[in-house]
């Protein structure tokens, strides 16, 4: 009896093992990902592996949409053998190649057949060879004419490849096959280039980073069309996996953090919560119709295709004509394509924890009203870096958000983006709270416009203010190097030191108005320049060498340009030949009222920058100034000495007032 029980038990266990060794999945991707590891040692798996080896082209890639578990006829095997040298249809689309490599890895873990290892390694070489120099991957390689050459995010193609590159470069245990150190190094470089490509292709909408398109031109990196019904657009689906990949990177760079934060803001902005998809099925469970029905507080979904400029969802038939709703296209495309997705939900779900971990959000930021963030280098505040505090600021807040900065030297570039309005940078003391960086034109080396990338602090958000700070470009007298760049409206800077050499302070914006009070500004050439309307009151303007103080580029028709009131112009002892200004653009306007001008100011005062027409179009003027440098009778003939009635229009209200009234007095 005991022996009989042992036999029965043995049969039961054997039967259970047999069941576990049987593949129960019908679809090829499911067979790879869902089977237990032990199944890959079964005879069934070995038989399928022969098919997978046969489908692989000698170049290393596989074709897509093949159910490789299906038994092949002798004729099919013969045809596949003939195709191996052709590289026909080798691709990474729809998971191809990446998933077959995973299959080979799982096979090799159970069965040490060297053919499996060789197949996997050929797959790696294929992916490495297929990568563009800019870091992207085409849909097909060797290149296939048409949209297939575009950098392809569609159906997660590039994300899948980068996941392979990452596992290999990190030498993780995800794959059972271990490539050589040389290959590992190549994969690491390929991953880094791929991430760089992702960052460069993130779409800017009116200057604001948003998300990605399903495909981007392989040369220009701009959004590109694919099939007739797949027009260039922002993608709710493909962008989600890209962001999740970026969020998975340990110690992300500043650019990665910006990319993720910008994409998350875009997902929040574009989510749809008033529609639900209703599917009509036939008796066999096949979709015969799709409808979008109104709903209240529905779970968020995102359109697969959104207009590049407006974010409005659109839909296309094979005629390529945009339609505003899914019911306006024919049943074939309506039912045979995924037009909506909830994939970005995973990004929104994980974002808060990611943001706190990576220093982009204060732990209390789940509160809707963040109005005070503290930066301290000793770790006693919310952050140790100013830029991280900026990342934590809510977009377009209703109230001022004060970033209180404790004393310290903060060696960093700080950018306050357009969506971070109402930001206040408040230092503990002007002398000891110092933001400094050392970029200059030659160091940046980004072409003819390199100057504008050299900033230490860049302000793009409206209604900005700063106080009790030193902002410095520490590159020295080595060409253009901006300390503070303000390209926004209604910016107020008080009790600050702004230090640099050439191009210290850049103020821009045709309609922008900016206010500096009780500040110290120093530089060499054109160290106050730009197109904004800016008022300087009770400021010291210090010249380090003989050159030009201002270089205004006031647009035509603007009433005021740069206005200096009750300011003091001083200089180093050796300086003795400084112009008040020269016109960067011919309609430049610069006026000094009630200012004390040191002896370093040249008697002629102004220079035309080799632009004779500027003598007729600029407006350079002074009123009631004092000091050895004030020599009105020796000024160039095309400048002006204002009369009292003319000077009276240069009031605080007249210069700075706009629809927001007296913003400058707050």
In degrees rounded to 5, what are phi and psi of residue 375?
Answer: -115, 125
Residue 276, helix vs strand vs coil: strand
The closest of 520, 579, 569 to 548, measured between CA atoms, is 579
Strand partners, 486: 459, 507
The bridge status of strand 528-530 relative to strand 562-565 is unpaired
Other beta carbons within 10 Å of 494: 18
Length reported for the chain: 666
502 touches 526 (CB < 8 A):
yes
Helix (H) or strand (E) holding 608: none
Alpha helix stretches (DSSP H) within 339-424: 344-357, 386-391
Peptide bond into 142 cis (omega under 30): yes
Strand partners, 453: none
Helix (H) or strand (E) holding 293: strand 287-294
The sign of the torsion formed by the CA atoms of 38, 42, 46, 52 equals negative
- Rounded to whole angstroms, the Cα distance separating 504 from 526 reads 8
Residue 443, helix vs strand vs coil: helix
Among left, alpha and beta (phi > 0; psi -120 to 50; other), residue 191 is alpha
User: Within 13 Å of residue 49, how many CA atoms lie on the same side as its CB?
Assistant: 27
Residues marked active site are found at 503, 526
Where b means 16+ CB within 10 Å and e means fewer, 248-286 reads eeeebeeebbbbbbbbbbbbeebbbeebbbeeeeeeeee
Tokens of 68: 């490789």
The closest of 103, 99, 95 to 39, measured between CA atoms, is 103
In degrees rounded to 5, what are phi and psi of residue 218?
Answer: -70, -10
Among left, alpha and beta (phi > 0; psi -120 to 50; other), residue 493 is beta
In 143-207, the DSSP E strands lie at 151-152, 204-205
Helix (H) or strand (E) holding 450: none
- Rounded to whole angstroms, the Cα distance separating 568 from 545 reads 16
User: What are the strands of the beta sheet with 457-459, ordered from one edge?
Assistant: 414-416, 457-459, 484-486, 505-507, 528-530, 548-552, 579-581
Q: What is the distance of C-alpha 478 from the center of its chain?
A: 30
Burial of 645 (0-12, 13-18, 19+ CB in 10 A): exposed
User: Within 13 Å of residue 559, how many CA atoms lie on the same side as its CB?
Assistant: 11
The sign of the torsion formed by the CA atoms of 64, 69, 74, 75 equals negative
64 touches 134 (CB < 8 A):
no
The closest of 65, 198, 88 to 136, measured between CA atoms, is 198
Alpha helix stretches (DSSP H) within 358-510: 386-391, 441-444
In degrees rounded to 5, what are phi and psi of residue 383?
Answer: -140, 160
């Amino acid at each position: 009896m005991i022996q009989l029980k042992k036999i029965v038990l043995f049969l039961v266990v054997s039967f259970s093992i047999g069941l576990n060794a049987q593949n129960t999945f019908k679809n090829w991707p499911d067979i790879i990902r869902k089977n237990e590891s032990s199944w890959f040692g079964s005879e069934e798996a070995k038989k399928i592996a022969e098919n997978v080896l046969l489908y692989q082209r000698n170049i290393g890639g596989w074709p897509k949409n093949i159910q490789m578990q299906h038994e092949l006829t002798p004729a099919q095997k013969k045809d596949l053998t003939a195709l191996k040298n052709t590289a026909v249809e080798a691709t990474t689309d729809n998971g191809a190649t990446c998933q077959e490599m995973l299959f080979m890895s799982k096979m090799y873990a159970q069965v040490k057949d060297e053919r499996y290892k060789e197949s996997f390694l050929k797959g790696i070489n294929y992916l490495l060879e297929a990568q563009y120099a800019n870091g992207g991957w085409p849909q097909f390689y060797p290149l296939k004419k048409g949209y297939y050459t575009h950098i392809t995010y569609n159906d997660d193609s590039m994300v899948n490849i980068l996941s392979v590159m990452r596992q290999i470069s990190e030498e993780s245990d995800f794959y059972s096959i271990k490539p050589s150190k040389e290959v590992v190094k190549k994969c690491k470089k390929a991953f880094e280039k791929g991430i760089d490509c992702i960052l460069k292709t993130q779409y800017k909408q009116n200057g604001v980073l948003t998300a990605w398109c399903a495909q981007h031109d392989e040369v220009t990196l701009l959004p590109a069309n694919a099939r007739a019904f797949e027009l260039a657009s922002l993608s709710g689906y493909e962008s989600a996996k890209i962001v999740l990949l970026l969020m998975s990177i340990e110690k992300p760079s500043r650019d990665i953090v910006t990319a993720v934060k910008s994409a998350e803001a875009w997902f929040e902005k574009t989510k749809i919560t008033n529609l639900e998809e209703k599917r009509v099925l036939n008796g066999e469970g096949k979709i015969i119709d799709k409808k979008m029905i109104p709903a209240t507080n529905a779970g968020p979904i995102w359109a697969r295709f959104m207009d590049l400029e407006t974010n409005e969802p659109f839909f296309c038939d094979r005629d390529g004509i945009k339609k505003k709703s899914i019911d306006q296209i024919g049943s074939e495309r309506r039912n045979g394509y995924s037009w909506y997705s909830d994939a970005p939900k995973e990004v929104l779900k994980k974002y808060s924890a990611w943001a706190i971990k990576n220093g982009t959000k204060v732990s209390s930021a789940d509160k809707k009203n963040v109005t005070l963030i503290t930066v301290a280098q000793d770790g006693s505040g919310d952050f140790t870096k100013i830029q991280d505090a900026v990342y934590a600021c809510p977009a377009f807040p209703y109230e001022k958000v004060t970033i209180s900065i404790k004393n310290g030297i903060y060696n960093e570039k700080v950018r306050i983006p357009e969506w971070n309005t109402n930001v206040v940078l408040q230092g503990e003391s002007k002398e000891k709270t110092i933001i400094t960086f050392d970029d200059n034109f030659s160091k940046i080396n980004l072409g003819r416009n390199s100057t504008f990338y050299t900033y230490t602090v860049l302000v793009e958000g409206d209604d900005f203010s700063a106080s009790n700070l030193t902002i410095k470009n520490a590159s020295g007298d080595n060409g253009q190097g901006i300390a503070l760049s303000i390209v926004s409206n209604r910016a107020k800077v008080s009790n600050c030191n702004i230090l640099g050499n050439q191009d210290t302070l850049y103020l821009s914006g045709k309609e922008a108005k900016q206010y500096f009070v009780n500040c110290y500004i120093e530089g060499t050439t054109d160290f106050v320049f730009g197109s904004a309307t800016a008022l300087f009151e009770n400021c010291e303007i210090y010249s380090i060498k003989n050159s030009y103080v201002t270089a205004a580029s006031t647009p035509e028709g603007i009433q005021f340009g740069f206005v200096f009131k009750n300011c003091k112009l001083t200089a180093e002892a050796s300086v003795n030949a400084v112009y008040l200004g020269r016109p960067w653009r011919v309609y430049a306007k610069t006026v000094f009222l009630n200012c004390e001008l040191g002896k370093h100011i040249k008697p002629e005062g102004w220079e035309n920058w080799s632009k004779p027409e500027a003598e007729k179009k600029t407006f350079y003027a002074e009123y009631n100034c004092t000091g050895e440098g004030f020599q009105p009778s020796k000024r160039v003939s095309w400048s002006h000495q204002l009369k009292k009635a003319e000077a009276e229009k240069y009031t605080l209200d007249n210069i700075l007032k706009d629809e927001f009234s007296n913003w400058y007095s707050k």
